[in-house]
Structure formats: structure tokens, C-alpha cells
């Protein structure tokens, strides 16, 4: 197999890359190259160990995330660290879970590099809200289901449910809502959606540790979301998805099928109505 020509990873550069939600098979070629060549890898808690194991022997691995409930290193410290490593002439791989520019503070770190005059490249990754759902058999869009998909964070910079969001507009205008970082405030999110008009019997799912060997999926309804999430002890990191796309999991849980589960070829119950144009 002839791989395409990829840019050189030059000393003194920072590559700000996404590692995808877990499975190292979801790395991009650029992220893989960066792992193979980096002198320093500064990584977050969400980066899978199997991915870190791909780092070049001799690379220095630096953890820059939350561990054991301790607060994460302050963002300016991480940015300063990246600048410093680059100025030492290292090839610096800043590796983040999912995509660095989706709820990942990649933009903040990149701006710090700009301010310091450090050259950098951004390597997008598979974001959990798309790839993690796909590993649970839930397509982010499907022609018969939704013409838009909305990514929402379940908590803002202060840790509270975002107040700047127009919840009634979301409830009205976003057929499929994909929440990141939402487990902590799940009851409030459910209440806001239901009081803004979303039906309690609307399908909802929680996918935790998606695309890792600890992946678990809970399929339920918006009304029962909180109780069932607690009963099933679903733990972060988890994606929460609300909307009819969840019904497709009964047909498309391909990981479940590998494990022997039977898939429903008509999960939307369209029957003879189904015609492709
Ligand atoms: N930049 C990341 C998101 C970071 S915010 C991305 O693009 O995916 C952290 C949140 O991402 C978690 O709280 C969770 O909601 C989600 N997340 C990241 N990895 C996940 C995984 N493997 N399974 C489920 N959710 C995940």
C-alpha cells in the first residue's frame, strides 16, 4: 500500500491533533505519523492507552488532564508548556480526545501558539458526538429522521448547564441533540427540554466509553433518561443523544451484531413506505 505524501513534522512545531473517541483504528494518518515522530506527546485523559502505545519509543509522554478527581492543570499552564517544548526545538504532539476543535479547547491552545509565534498544524479527529454514536449504531443524520444535528455542551466554563442557550429554540428546532459532558446535569437538561415541549417518550440514548473496550449503550426515553442512566451506572465520558435517530440503533448496532445480536432491518418501521430517490 502506498500512503499519500504527508507533511514533515518539523522540530519546533506543535501538531494539535485529535485522537478520536478511543479505538486507535480511528486515528488519521496525520495523527499516526505525529505519534511515530513526536519528541513530546502532551495528552489528555480521554486519549486511549492503546493510542499512546503507538508513540515513538523515546518520546516523552506528558499527561495534561484530570485524574482521580483532581483538578486539571490550568489551561494557561498547558499552553505555556506547549510553547516551551516547541522553543526547545521539540516536535510537540498535543493529542486530545475526539476532535481538538470540538469542545476541546483546541482553539484556546492554538491561539496561545499564535501569540507566541510557534508554528503549528491542526489535525482534526473523529469527534465522540459522531464517531462515538456510530459505534453504537446511531447515525448522526438519516434522511428519514433528521435534517439537522446539533452539538451541545452539558456544562459551560463555570460547570453549570449553559444559560446562554436558547432551550425553547433548541427544543423546537433541533430534531437530534447530541450532548457532550452532560451526565452531571442530566436532570436539568431533561427538565429544560421537556418543559420546552419535547415529548417525554422521545427516544434517548447514552453511550459511555464509546469506541473503547468499555463501551456501553443505554437506549431509553427522554422521560426515563435520568433514572435509567443511574440504574445502569453509566459513567463518563458519555455522549447523550435525544431524538428519533436513536431508533436506528435497533437496526444498526453493528458492534452488537458482531457479538451475536440480531439487527432489525426496519427500525423506523417504514415498511413498504421506504423508497429511495
Ligand atoms: N474533543 C472531544 C470532546 C471533549 S469534551 C471530542 O471531539 O470528542 C469531553 C466529552 O466528550 C465527554 O464528557 C463526553 O461527553 C465526550 N466523549 C469524549 N470521548 C468519549 C467517548 N469515548 N465516549 C463517550 N463520550 C466521549
Evaluate whether 72 touches 91 at the Cβ level (below 8 Å): no
For residues 121 and 141, state if they share a domain: no
Percent of the chain at pLDDT > 90 equals 88
Looking at the predicted structure, is the pLDDT value of residue 143 above 60?
yes
For residues 96 and 137, state if they share a domain: no
pTM: 0.95
Q: Which of 23, 33, 44, 96 is catalytic?
A: 44
Q: Specify the ligand 1 atom closest to the Cα of 182.
A: 15
Evaluate whether 28 touches 100 at the Cβ level (below 8 Å): no
Angle (CA) 31-34-37 rounded to 5° is 155
Residue 29, judged by CB atoms within 10 A of its CB (0-12, 13-18, 19+), counts as exposed
For residues 106 and 74, state if they share a domain: yes
Helix axes 106-116, 75-87, angle to 10 degrees: 50
Residue that finishes a domain, picked among 68, 91, 126 = 126
For residues 105 and 134, state if they share a domain: no
Strands (E) located in the chain:
14-18, 40-43, 60-63, 92-96, 120-123, 149-153, 176-180, 203-208, 216-221, 238-242
Q: Which of 66, 144, 201, 266 is catalytic?
A: 66
Residue that finishes a domain, picked among 91, 126, 161 = 126
30 domain-assigned: yes
Ligand 1 mutation target, pool 98, 186, 242, most atoms within 8 A of CB: 98
Q: How far is the CA of 1 from the centre of ligand 1 (A)?
A: 32
> What is the residue-averaged pLDDT of the chain?
94
Ligand 1 mutation target, pool 97, 105, 106, 177, most atoms within 8 A of CB: 97
143 domain-assigned: yes
Q: Which domain holds residue 119?
A: 14-126
User: Which residue has the CA at smallest separation from atom 6 of ligand 1?
Assistant: 98
Span 54-109, pLDDT tens digits? 999 999 999 997 665 566 677 889 999 999 999 999 999 999 999 999 998 999 99
Residue 129, φ and ψ in degrees, nearest 5: -70, -10
166 domain-assigned: yes
Evaluate whether 274 touches 161 at the Cβ level (below 8 Å): no
Q: How far is the CA of 138 from the centre of ligand 1 (A)?
A: 16
Q: How far is the CA of 21 from the centre of ligand 1 (A)?
A: 7
Ligand 1, CB cutoff 6 Å, lining residues: 21-22, 46, 96-99, 102-104, 127-128, 132, 180-181, 207-212, 236-239
Q: How far is the CA of 146 from the centre of ligand 1 (A)?
A: 22
Number of domains in the chain: 2
> What does the pLDDT read at residue 80?
96
Residue that finishes a domain, picked among 126, 151, 179 = 126
Neighbours of 121 (CB within 10 A): 15
Amino acid at each position: 500500500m502506498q500512503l499519500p505524501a504527508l507533511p514533515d513534522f518539523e522540530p519546533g512545531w506543535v501538531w494539535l491533533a485529535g485522537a478520536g473517541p478511543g479505538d486507535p483504528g480511528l486515528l488519521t494518518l496525520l495523527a499516526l505519523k505525529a505519534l511515530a515522530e513526536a519528541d513530546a506527546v502532551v495528552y489528555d485523559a480521554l486519549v486511549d492507552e492503546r493510542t499512546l502505545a503507538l508513540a515513538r519509543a523515546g518520546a516523552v509522554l506528558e499527561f495534561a488532564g484530570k485524574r482521580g478527581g483532581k483538578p486539571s492543570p490550568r489551561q494557561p499552564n498547558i499552553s505555556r508548556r506547549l510553547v516551551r517544548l516547541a522553543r526547545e526545538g521539540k516536535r510537540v504532539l498535543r493529542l486530545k480526545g475526539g476532535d481538538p476543535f470540538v469542545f476541546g479547547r483546541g482553539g484556546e491552545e492554538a491561539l496561545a501558539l499564535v501569540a507566541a509565534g510557534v508554528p503549528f498544524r491542526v489535525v482534526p479527529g473523529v469527534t465522540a458526538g459522531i464517531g462515538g454514536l456510530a459505534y453504537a449504531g446511531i447515525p448522526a443524520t438519516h434522511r428519514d429522521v433528521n435534517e439537522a444535528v446539533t452539538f451541545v455542551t452539558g456544562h459551560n466554563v463555570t460547570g453549570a448547564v449553559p444559560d446562554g442557550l436558547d432551550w425553547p429554540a433548541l427544543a423546537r428546532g433541533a430534531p437530534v441533540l447530541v450532548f457532550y459532558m452532560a451526565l452531571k446535569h442530566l436532570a436539568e437538561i431533561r427538565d429544560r427540554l421537556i418543559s420546552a415541549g419535547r415529548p417525554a417518550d422521545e427516544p434517548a440514548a447514552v453511550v459511555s466509553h464509546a469506541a473503547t473496550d468499555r463501551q456501553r449503550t443505554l437506549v431509553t426515553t427522554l422521560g426515563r433518561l435520568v433514572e435509567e442512566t443511574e440504574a445502569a451506572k453509566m459513567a463518563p465520558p458519555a455522549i447523550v443523544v435525544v431524538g428519533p435517530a436513536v431508533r436506528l440503533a435497533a437496526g444498526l448496532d453493528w458492534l452488537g451484531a458482531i457479538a451475536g445480536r440480531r439487527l432489525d432491518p426496519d427500525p423506523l418501521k417504514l415498511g413498504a413506505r421506504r423508497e429511495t430517490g
